């Protein structure tokens, strides 16, 4: 299990929190060694002096204190002396034994002493002195019970909270341009060139953002040049093709088989030119709208039935709406159904469904053809790549590449696999919510 965070934001906050913890521990150690410990030693020293005063006229052979002396000392100093029974009655039972205080007191008094501390409404030291082991000296400390540690606790908590909050804000400001850069890079990967990003943040991030803007500008210009080149080529090719078609129509009837062959070749060439144009077109001018995928499937199947082929539908009920570009997705459905017709015989099965866990709907098209070898599956979405010769070799090899480009633009996924009972299954997954959803 990984403990340390992976992101720069998490690492920055973790580092600040770790340094704050080290600072608090060091501060606690310094306060304990240089403030609390000397204070306790001084307190113990003063208490020992007071006890010596109580027993200044009492030796180890004389263990009896005069009652008059103890009362006068209590009135003057507040220190009380009790025997064991009296001490138990006055709160000794609630007192807690402290070994460290007992050791220090033993050194101060020159013999074995026992120290207990009672903490009720006030702090009270109970000391069994070596001069009179049968007595307990009760010494109230009025200063300690008046000490309020809440401001110190509030200060420590406030400093800790402000430090972590400040670190979080600093890390968030530092990483916000990176998040924008990430979203922009994802858009570029989908073929949608974003507007230039604002150059903000640290000098390193500004340099990266500036380089990214320059790269995006170059890609956008390259796309424009490619679209212009393809438009020019298609225009220049269609003109001679039109002349060839007109010339073939003027051929005599005995040469009709040649005329028909030329017409078929011209139709194929026009279809290939259309595929090239469709491949470089991203449908970015189309607006994202929430659509019912079942409605789109039904519309496309109604159009495709003109080919007199059976299309079986298995549409799931109550599918959620999906944000998509209507015309672009219709092109996806059209290409999938046309491929199924082209490379198979028999019926075509089109089904829809909803994956609740991954929050996405899917459209699945299955044919009953020979399928595609598993070794060629990964290459089928590359431009100018065609399947096995068993599925035919006509066309430009751009059909699945166009489909994948449109699906990627919707932040979806397309998969291919051979059905267990024969045929190829193409599945298009579309998310219900797109990251950085935009209508442009």
Of the two residues 132 and 36, the one the predictor is more confident about is: 132
Averaged pLDDT, 104-122: 83
Higher pLDDT, 387 or 276: 276
Share of the chain above pLDDT 70, in %: 78
| pTM of the model as a whole | 0.49
Task: Give yes or no for residue 149 having a pLDDT over 60.
Answer: no
> What percent of the chain has pLDDT above 90?
10
Give the pLDDT mean for 382-390. 56
Arithmetic mean of pLDDT, 260-281: 73
pLDDT interval class at 326 (50, 70, 90): confident
Residue 59 has pLDDT above 70, yes or no: no
* 264 vs 414, more confident: 414
Assign 427 a pLDDT band (cuts: 50, 70, 90). very high
The residue-averaged pLDDT of 230-244 equals 75
Secondary structure (H, E, C), the chain = CCCCCCCHHHHHHHHHHHHHHHHHHHHHHHHHHHHHHHHHHHHHHHHHHHHHHHCCCCCCCCCCCCHHHHHHHHHHHCCEEEEHHHHHHCCHHHCEECHHHHHHHHHHHCCCCEEEEEECCCEEEEEECCCCCCEEEEEEEHHHHCCCCHHHHHHHHHHHHHHHHHHHHHHHHHHHHHHHHHHHHHHHHCCCCCCCCCCCCCHHHHHHHHHHHHHHHHHHHHHHHHHHHHHHHHHHHHHHHHHHHHHHHCCCHHHHHHHHHHHHHHHHHHHHHHHHHHHHCCCCCCCCEEECHHHHHHHHHHHHHHHCCCEEEECCCCCCCEEECHHHHHHHHHHHHHHHHHCCCCCEEEEEEEECCCCEEEEEEECCCCCCCHHHHHHCCCCCCCCCHHHCCCCCCCHHHHHHHHHHHCCCEEEEEECCCCCEEEEEEEECCCCCCCCC
Lowest mean pLDDT among 20-24, 381-385, 414-418: 381-385
Mean pLDDT of 228-255: 76
Q: With 80 as the cut, is the pLDDT of residue 327 above it?
A: yes
- Report pLDDT for 371: 86
Q: What is the mean pLDDT of residues 139-148?
A: 59
Q: What is the pLDDT of residue 355?
A: 92
Res 426: pLDDT: 93
Residue 143: what pLDDT?
A: 54
pLDDT of residue 255 exceeding 90: no
For the ranges 90-94, 158-162, 359-363, which has the lowest average pLDDT?
A: 158-162
Mean pLDDT of the chain: 77
Which domains does the chain possess?
A: 8-147 (no CATH), 286-431 (3.30.565.10)
In this predicted model, which residue has the larger pLDDT, 299 or 10? 299
137-146, 348-357, 405-414 — which is least confidently predicted? Answer: 137-146
Q: How confident is the model at residue 74 (pLDDT cuts 50, 70, 90)?
A: low
pLDDT at 247: 79
Looking at the predicted structure, is the pLDDT value of residue 77 above 80?
no
pLDDT tens digit sequence for 287-322: 888 999 999 998 888 866 556 678 889 999 889 999
- Statement: residue 430 has pLDDT above 70: yes
Is it the case that residue 438 has pLDDT exceeding 60?
Answer: no
Tell me the mean pLDDT in the region 233-257.
Answer: 77
- pLDDT for position 400: 83
pLDDT tier at 98 (50, 70, 90 boundaries)? confident
pLDDT at 413: 92
pLDDT at 360 over 90: yes
Judge whether residue 144 has pLDDT over 70: no
Q: Does the pLDDT of residue 66 top 90, yes or no?
A: no
For 193-231, the pLDDT digits (tens) are 788 888 877 777 788 888 988 888 888 887 777 777 777
The pLDDT tens digits for 391-417 are: 444 555 667 887 888 888 888 999 999
Evaluate if residue 4 carries a pLDDT over 60: yes
Q: Give the pLDDT score at 306.
A: 52
Predicted confidence at residue 428, as pLDDT, reads 95
Does the pLDDT value for residue 354 go beyond 90? yes
């Amino acid at each position: 299990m990984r403990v340390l965070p992976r992101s720069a934001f998490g690492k920055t906050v973790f580092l600040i929190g770790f340094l704050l913890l080290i600072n608090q521990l060091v501060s606690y150690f310094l306060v304990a060694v240089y403030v609390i410990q000397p204070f306790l030693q001084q307190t113990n020293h003063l208490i020992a002096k007071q006890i010596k005063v109580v027993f200044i006229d009492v030796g180890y052979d004389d263990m009896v204190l005069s009652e008059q002396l103890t009362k006068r000392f209590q009135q003057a100093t507040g220190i009380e002396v009790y025997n064991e029974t009296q001490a138990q009655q006055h709160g000794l039972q609630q007192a807690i034994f402290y070994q460290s205080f007992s050791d220090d007191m033993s050194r101060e008094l020159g013999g074995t002493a026992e120290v207990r501390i009672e903490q009720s409404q006030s702090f009270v030291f109970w000391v069994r002195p070596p001069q009179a082991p049968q007595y307990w000296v009760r010494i109230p400390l009025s200063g300690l019970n008046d000490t309020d540690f809440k401001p110190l606790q509030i200060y420590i908590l406030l400093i800790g909270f402000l430090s972590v909050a400040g670190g979080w804000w600093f890390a968030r400001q530092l990483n916000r341009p990176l998040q924008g850069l990430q979203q922009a890079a994802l858009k570029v990967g989908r073929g949608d060139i974003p507007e230039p990003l604002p150059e903000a943040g640290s000098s390193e991030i500004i340099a990266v953002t500036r380089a990214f803007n320059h790269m995006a500008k170059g890609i956008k210009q390259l796309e424009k040049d490619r679209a212009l080149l393809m438009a020019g080529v298609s225009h220049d090719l269609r003109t001679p093709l039109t002349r060839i078609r007109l010339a073939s129509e003027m051929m005599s009837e005995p040469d009709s088989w040649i005329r028909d062959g030329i017409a078929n070749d011209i139709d194929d060439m026009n279809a290939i030119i259309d595929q090239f144009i469709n491949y470089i077109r991203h449908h970015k001018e189309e607006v994202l709208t929430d659509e019912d995928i079942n409605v789109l499937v039904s519309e496309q199947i109604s159009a495709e039935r003109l080919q007199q082929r059976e299309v079986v539908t298995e549409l799931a009920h109550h599918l959620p709406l999906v944000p998509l570009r209507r015309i672009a997705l219709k092109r996806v459905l059209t290409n999938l159904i046309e491929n199924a017709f082209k490379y198979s015989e028999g019926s075509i099965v089109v089904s829809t469904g909803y994956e609740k866990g991954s929050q996405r709907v899917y459209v699945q098209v299955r044919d009953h053809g020979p399928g595609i070898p598993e070794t060629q599956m990964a290459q089928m979405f590359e431009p100018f790549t065609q399947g096995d010769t068993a599925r035919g070799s006509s066309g430009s090899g751009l059909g699945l590449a166009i489909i994948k480009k449109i699906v990627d633009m919707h932040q979806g996924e397309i998969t291919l696999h051979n059905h267990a009972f024969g045929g190829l299954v193409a599945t298009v997954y579309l998310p219900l919510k797109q990251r950085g959803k935009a209508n442009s």
